[in-house]
Structure 1
């Protein structure tokens, strides 16, 4: 039932085999994706609302957390259903339904949401580092850029390793709060009463809106619809049905763990602050200081450790979501580390400017602002998701039923209405608090908000009113073309890169196989000494002279065997020098040995092969060691 499209998260798509397994092994094979998603429900952006709710109203808002969790469970299960049944992530399905301009707008909004989420995680990690190691916030914010290296390492190790890291972070968070529960000793009878719904008004309603609005993260819906596709499943009706069931179990377990963490934060605030008369604690730093004042050093230390683990795990899943929306909405595929670096830099900039111009104490307000930005995007993920999973034509027997549809649209209406109220309230507050900026608010903020509302209405009504035939997704590399006659290609001048390693023999052998004894061969070696890099021309240091002598030995051996070979030595950066030799000597086929670096080494040493293949317009054969 999968549709024609580019694979979501192609490097790990279908990488975890679930077939041929029984019992617990079958269940364990499916467990994982929801844990990556669940960290978004316990990221530092949620901590402020939980702390505020617990400190001001005690245990009375636990039922709001529970309601938010039920809504999240419903929407995440719809996300997994879309990915399993149609083999599409949410961004790809949107691309098939809406036109290019709307998809571009959806991409921009989703990317802004990811940056906003990343901003909250940066601030949370920086605060955690400051609380634990007394590191200045500006230094902590700057250090968060280093997680790009960690992400590279984990993604190169495979999906199960990445899931294992995230689960370990969740374990640290959960354990920290479990120990804190024993320290603060909450009133469990009052906690149980907190699950009973009550009337909300004034600030209680505002905080409740914040809890609901910040709980269901839009990028998690994109992420989950893709992550479930990392499992290789039986595509029969029974196989798909089983996959939906097992992924619902995964989602239920993971999101209930996230609920327990959020509830623990609220209970901690209620037990530690509300019970002791501290009713207005919304700042993470204030919570830490009060915990230390009331309970000693252990509770605040565990609080800071959990905060760091939360920020680190959330930022990794945000990167994966960024890859999904970029490839899905606008067909753009770039290196994960580059995308991660750009997202992190865009998130770091407002944090740094806030610290420099407004001081450390303004970061709490910046976290709240990031949640407002997130709320603007939520409807653009939820509404299409419900449309897609309700479509009987494409979902077949797996389209959601009437009862689920009513619950889903009710949840969507609740989220959108509450978030609109939150945004409108925020704009009114800005108008009242910053009279000098009213002109900018009326000229930019309000028109932009109205434009976003119009786009939201279009996203809702388009599948209902302007239904058209859904075309196959436009994939990043295009669609396959027809293959007719394939005439043999001969090469007259073949270049072979030499680095005097164990790769040389394999590279030369593969090069000779392409042209035989009729072709001309140029053996290319690049001198990358400090002097060669500086001058970019011939240098006569010891390494250069030694390399020339070794290269001449290769050439002499090939000529003795009846091949036409000569040597070319370049100087300076390898990719630039190789490209120049290829163009000057009019080489029509290039053989390069792969160095075999992975992850960190690629980042440190660079990838010459990738740079060369983007600079020349001839075929390149890449030979791996031992090939």
Structure 2
């Protein structure tokens, strides 16, 4: 089968053709990088920036600038991969590496998502606590409620989601404009902070945390997918134009993120370091001290509002990245609300346990730790990305230049080297301080060596092995209907339930084989969004439009093969709507594809087979995928 589309529900949903040249043309492409930029200003960044600013003043501004330059190059490579190959980074990895390696890379990517979401959960909970006085534990639990915001936004289309995110970014930006006015930082020292220096080993830990918080691995997966939401001319000229406009998009958005990160660090330096408060690392402490130090009650209020906006925006993009990683590496699609809750619980459980056991004072350490975890995972995302965009065959002539390759490898080497030093120092410290180092020698040390071997493998594998041919993804857009012969079947009116999954092709092929060209076929699909359940066939949202198009694609492909076919679109719960359509029609047989799972997996994957089989009066033919 041909490949599936990354973020299929919004893929190529924004038209750029037919736009006038100039500003309107650029505007059509602007958007994806703003969703990326919120990951560069999430609550995890706040913790590392505040710790860096209060402890070392303006000395680490250069780390932010360096991180921003790194981020701009890496995100432009990620966008290039998505635009040229129409694969996201996870799909490209699955195409290139063995199943075992992909499973490990997927696990590491999920750890990064969990670390990122942990920072977002804590950040939003802290913001809610600071603004409304709600206890931190309750604030953590409240963050579960934003689970469904993503589902609502993506149902409205990617442009609406981009507008919502840009509004949140604007809130963050304006908040810090006023914070800078209140803080009155020393401009000369800001420029001095652009000169590279590391005062001590603690500064290295904070610097690596800043890099991990700025150049975020899940953003590389996300950007390679989001650029595919734009529909443009696939000619060489069209691809070059898309690359150019997306680079402009990235430059503007990431510089805004740099401004926010620099503003947080400068605020901490001007308010805390200047007044001899060198150990302010907790966001709560920073909030409490802003009013007395800056002389205005607006400072802490704006700080809390910006923190909530940062947490809310980054949680949306983190969820999208989780979907991309799961579908790309595993070729596995689960219901969005299930995916969101799983991601949220992975972050909430350690946050709740840590707060219960250590108290609220541990949140700052958790935030910084989450960013260091992100930094440690970076090499496993950056190195494959550089290989892919350097591949002349994969990139169809749009591979990066030698100069860009050298710059990218220097960045990767810098990040991996810093991480290697951090890991070595940490493990050495654990072994020296542990009462029972033997346990560490047989657990942590072998695991670390294993990840080092994996890192070396993905560095050198593309040089010694050829990429596998194709990518075995499912696709609801194209079906390879290789029909050799048909058996006559007395049933002349056959219904086929389709859900745009891997099961569809087998179900349709079985139907056509059973009925031949003398039968009539009806393809049934049910839109099961919240809006569809409430408004039925009166709903007119983005997902309904996409489903109508996909169903029509199926219709056209089957009709071109010489079969009589029609389509029916239902709205609501498939388990109820499919039987209703069948019982109201004149059908002889219903064919459904099934993944063959039962019990708990029924809940996860949302199967409707059992509900349908007991409500229809005609035979049900199940095709197990």
TM-score by length of 2: 0.79
1:618 aligns with one of 594, 599, 620 = 620
1:391–1:491 distance in 2 versus 1, CA, 3 Å: same
Alignment partners' CA distance in 2, 1:162 and 1:379: 30
* Bigger mean CA offset, 439-448 vs 90-99: 439-448
> After the TM superposition, which residues 384-395 of structure 1 pair with which residues of structure 2 at under 5 Å, given as runs?
384-395=384-395
**Could you say what secondary structure the match of 1:395 adopts?**
coil
Which residue number in structure 2 is paired with residue 302 of structure 1?
302
Measured after TM superposition, the shift of residue 618 of structure 1 is: 3.0
Measured after TM superposition, the shift of residue 206 of structure 1 is: 2.8
> After the TM superposition, which residues 20-99 of structure 1 pair with which residues of structure 2 at under 5 Å, given as runs?
20-21=18-19, 22-99=21-98
1:211–1:608 distance in 2 versus 1, CA, 3 Å: closer
> After the TM superposition, which residues 362-373 of structure 1 pair with which residues of structure 2 at under 5 Å, given as runs?
362-373=362-373
Measured after TM superposition, the shift of residue 156 of structure 1 is: 0.5
Unaligned residue ranges in structure 1 (runs of 5+): 496-513, 520-572, 593-605, 621-627
Alignment partners' CA distance in 1, 2:335 and 2:55: 45
> After the TM superposition, which residues 100-499 of structure 1 pair with which residues of structure 2 at under 5 Å, given as runs?
100-198=99-197, 200-295=199-294, 296-431=296-431, 435-436=434-435, 438-465=437-464, 467-476=465-474, 480-485=480-485, 491=491
Unaligned residue ranges in structure 2 (runs of 5+): 496-514, 521-572, 593-604
Q: Deviations over 1:452-486 (max 9, x none)?
A: 11111111111112x22431111146973413446
Q: Deviations over 1:226-248 (max 9, x none)?
A: 00000001111110000000000
Measured after TM superposition, the shift of residue 205 of structure 1 is: 2.7
8 Å Cα contact 2:168-2:309 kept in structure 1: yes
1:590–1:40 distance in 2 versus 1, CA, 3 Å: same
Say which one has the larger Rg: 1
8 Å Cα contact 1:42-1:261 kept in structure 2: yes
Which residue number in structure 1 is paired with residue 567 of structure 2?
none
TM-score by length of 1: 0.78
Q: Deviations over 1:423-457 (max 9, x none)?
A: 33333444456x35645433322222221111111
Measured after TM superposition, the shift of residue 491 of structure 1 is: 4.3
Alignment partners' CA distance in 1, 2:613 and 2:334: 13
* Bigger mean CA offset, 16-25 vs 203-212: 203-212
8 Å Cα contact 2:208-2:375 kept in structure 1: no
Q: Deviations over 1:560-594 (max 9, x none)?
A: xxxxxxxxxxxxx9949998xx99xxx954699xx
Measured after TM superposition, the shift of residue 282 of structure 1 is: 1.1
Aligned length: 528
Which residue number in structure 1 is paired with residue 502 of structure 2?
none
8 Å Cα contact 1:58-1:271 kept in structure 2: yes
Alignment partners' CA distance in 1, 2:493 and 2:53: 74
Which residue number in structure 1 is paired with residue 3 of structure 2?
5
Alignment partners' CA distance in 1, 2:448 and 2:607: 46
Alignment partners' CA distance in 2, 1:308 and 1:389: 36
**Could you say what secondary structure the match of 1:394 adopts?**
coil
Which residue number in structure 2 is paired with residue 527 of structure 1?
none
1:284–1:611 distance in 2 versus 1, CA, 3 Å: farther
* Bigger mean CA offset, 119-128 vs 288-297: 288-297
1:392–1:377 distance in 2 versus 1, CA, 3 Å: same
Measured after TM superposition, the shift of residue 408 of structure 1 is: 0.2
Q: Deviations over 1:603-625 (max 9, x none)?
A: xxx999687469998379xxxxx
1:493–1:265 distance in 2 versus 1, CA, 3 Å: same
Which residue number in structure 2 is paired with residue 15 of structure 1?
13
What is the CA RMSD across the aligned residues, in angstroms? 3.2
**Could you say what secondary structure the match of 2:5 adopts?**
coil
